[in-house]
Amino acid sequence: MRIAINDFVRRQTPESPLSHYEGTWEELVELVTRSFPDAKEGYKPGVLLVPVPCRSFRSGTILVTPETELRAVFEARREPEARYLSVRARGEKPKAVFVFVVLYSHEVLGVEATTDADFEIISINARVTAAEEPMDPMTMARNFLVLEGGTKGDFSAQQFAESIVYWSNRAALDTSPRE
């Protein structure tokens, strides 16, 4: 079984507003390969969530307080995906308390595969709480509706509602230069 880096995860860097790993991509593959026996099935068959030790990971999510400086952006994750409204928060990337790495099988990725490996690392999900964290509502909607960049997934009204409530006081990190 081979694990590789999908080009999509390469956007998760120290300079990005997203969670990231402070080591190399090769080291990340080694870490995920060692932790693979602990993998759990994700939101559908062929999607795996691999918990990894949280050292060397930073979260791109900020807990919003009344003092948090917020900025709205209208952007796509990548071309040719549709733009959407996203709220960002100023702050430093916090150290992760819990991390799992999302793997998609070659079959699930289809034309989105960027290697010929059995599984590709799609996302680094680092959070500042050990509690379960739902997928953000926009990602759920993109997957549910199979929008550009989405991978078909079915979610209940309960899952959507829990996601909306959870993300109502959290925001992605804003890494844009101050004006």
**pLDDT tens digits, one per residue of 104-155:** 999 999 999 999 999 999 999 999 888 888 988 988 988 899 887 777 889 9
For residues 77 and 89, give the distance between their C-alpha atoms in angstroms, rounded to a whole number: 17
User: Is residue 27 domain-resident?
Assistant: yes
Domain of residue 164 covers 3-173
Is 7 within a domain? yes
Residue 104 lies in a domain: yes
Q: How confident is the model at residue 179 (pLDDT cuts 50, 70, 90)?
A: low
pLDDT at 19: 96
* Mean predicted confidence (pLDDT) in 154-170: 94
> Is 179 inside any structural domain?
no
CATH number at residue 108: 3.30.2310.50
Residues 6 or more apart whose Cβ sits within 8 Å of residue 9: 121, 122, 123, 124
Query: Cis (ω within 30 of 0) for the bond into 80?
Result: yes
DSSP code for 13:
S
Residue type, 152: K
Residue 161 domain flag = yes
Number of domains into which the chain is organized = 1
C-alpha distances (whole Å) from 27 to each of 5, 89, 126, 149 are: 11, 29, 16, 27
- According to the model, what pLDDT value does residue 41 have? 96
**Is residue 165 in a domain?**
yes
Which of 1-5, 106-110, 175-179 bottoms out in mean pLDDT, i.e. has the lowest? 175-179
